[in-house]
């Protein structure tokens, strides 16, 4: 009889110590149109003034990371110190599309501010999320990563869209969030396909140190029929980045499909969950082995 009780208690003990990592996806007030350089510029301008329902404005969308490991609860995200430096680079210094590859003074979002923002976002259903149940050892690895990230000073830089945080390049908000999934062994091809963009920025629209040119924002805004380059032969700049708005769309679509009885196959048990008026997905990844080896790919 005692032996029969030991196994259930052991399983309960392991799962009781397990943790969670959640990515909260927030769209811009109006969705950013990435179909052409001109339409991106228009979206950026519109979102400086567009009305929004719940939470902060988040002109270009945003992503928060939530990590719960036992009694430790962390809410944060990567952001810039303020918008002044960014606006000067766009409207005064003539960075053009080069703005998306520029590094700015950065910080991590404060927990109290994130709590208030998420509460407001979820009360109106503006944001959604994906939650992963993870093992205790994976939780420890992610906590260690965040501590080392700050100790190396990477949190003080809000990096361009191409930046890879695990290579010591600091990060923007979405790459920062995705680095947690990579370290936890939870990044899958479907996320890469559905959540990211690969573009080539035409050289004529890129200003700043990359080209030593001044590209006025109005030039891009009025560049009708503008297109992304299709190869690098014209000296354009490749861009690979994670898009929080694509994350919002994908999550909404999968939630809708599952609620309608569709079968979606993921590497982990999956269910729809709700927080206030926001819906998301919960993946049970507690059985996923914790990746080993160095956290950062640079010394």
pLDDT computed for residue 8 by the predictor: 45
pLDDT computed for residue 17 by the predictor: 61
Secondary structure string (H, E, C) spanning the chain: CHHHHHHHHHHHHHHHCCEEEEEEEECCCCCCCCCCHHHHHHHHHHCCCCCCCCCCCCCCCEEEEEEEECCEEEEECEEECCCHHHHHHHHCCCEEHHHHHCCEEEEECCHHHHHHHHHHHHHHCCCEEEEEEECHHHHHHHHHHHHHHHHCCHHHEECCCCCCHHHCCCECHHHHHHHHHHHCCCCCHHHHHHHEEEEEECHHHECECCCCECECHHHHHCCCCCCCCCCCCCCCEEEEEECHHHHHHHHHHHHHHHHCCCCCCCCCCEEEEEECCEEEEEEECCCCCCCCCCCCCCC
Spatial CA neighbour of 129 closest among 137, 141, 117: 117
Confidence (pTM): 0.93
Q: What is the pLDDT along the chain (299 residues), one digit of tens a residue?
A: 444 444 443 344 444 468 999 999 999 999 999 999 999 999 999 999 999 999 999 999 999 999 999 999 999 999 999 889 998 999 999 999 999 999 999 999 999 999 999 999 999 999 999 999 999 999 999 999 999 999 999 999 999 999 999 999 999 999 999 999 999 999 999 999 999 999 999 999 999 999 999 999 999 999 999 999 999 999 999 999 999 999 999 999 999 999 999 999 999 999 999 999 999 999 999 999 999 999 999 99
Distance, in Å, from the CA atom of 137 to the CA atom of 195, rounded to the nearest integer, reads 27
Q: Is 147 exposed, middle or buried (0-12, 13-18, 19+ CB in 10 A)?
A: exposed
């Amino acid at each position: 009889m005692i032996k029969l009780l030991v196994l259930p208690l052991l399983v309960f003990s392991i799962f009781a110590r397990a943790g969670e990592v959640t990515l909260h996806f927030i769209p811009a007030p109006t969705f950013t149109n990435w179909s052409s350089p001109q339409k991106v510029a228009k979206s950026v301008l519109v979102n400086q003034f567009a009305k929004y329902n719940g939470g902060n404005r988040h002109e270009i969308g945003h992503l928060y990371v939530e990590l719960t490991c036992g009694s430790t609860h962390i809410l944060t995200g990567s952001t810039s110190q303020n918008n002044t430096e960014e606006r000067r680079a766009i409207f005064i210094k003539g960075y053009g599309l080069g703005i998306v590859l520029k590094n700015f003074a950065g910080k991590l979002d404060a927990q109290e501010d994130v709590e208030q923002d998420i509460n407001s976002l979820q009360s109106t259903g503006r944001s959604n999320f994906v939650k992963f149940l993870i093992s205790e050892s994976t939780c420890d690895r992610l906590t260690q990563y965040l501590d080392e990230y700050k100790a190396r000073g990477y949190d003080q830089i809000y990096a361009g869209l191409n930046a890879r945080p695990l290579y010591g390049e600091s990060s923007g908000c979405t790459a920062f969030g995705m680095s947690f999934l990579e370290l936890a062994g939870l990044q899958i091809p479907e996320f890469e396909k559905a959540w990211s963009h690969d573009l080539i920025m035409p050289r004529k629209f890129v200003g700043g140190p990359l080209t030593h040119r001044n590209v006025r924002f109005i030039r891009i805004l009025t560049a009708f029929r503008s297109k992304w380059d299709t190869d690098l032969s014209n000296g354009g700049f490749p861009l690979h980045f994670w898009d929080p708005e694509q994350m919002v769309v994908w999550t909404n679509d999968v939630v809708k499909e599952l609620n309608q009885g569709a079968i979606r196959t993921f590497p982990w048990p999956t269910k729809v969950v709700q927080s206030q008026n926001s819906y998301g997905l919960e993946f049970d990844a507690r059985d996923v082995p914790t990746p080993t080896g160095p956290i950062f790919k640079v010394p």
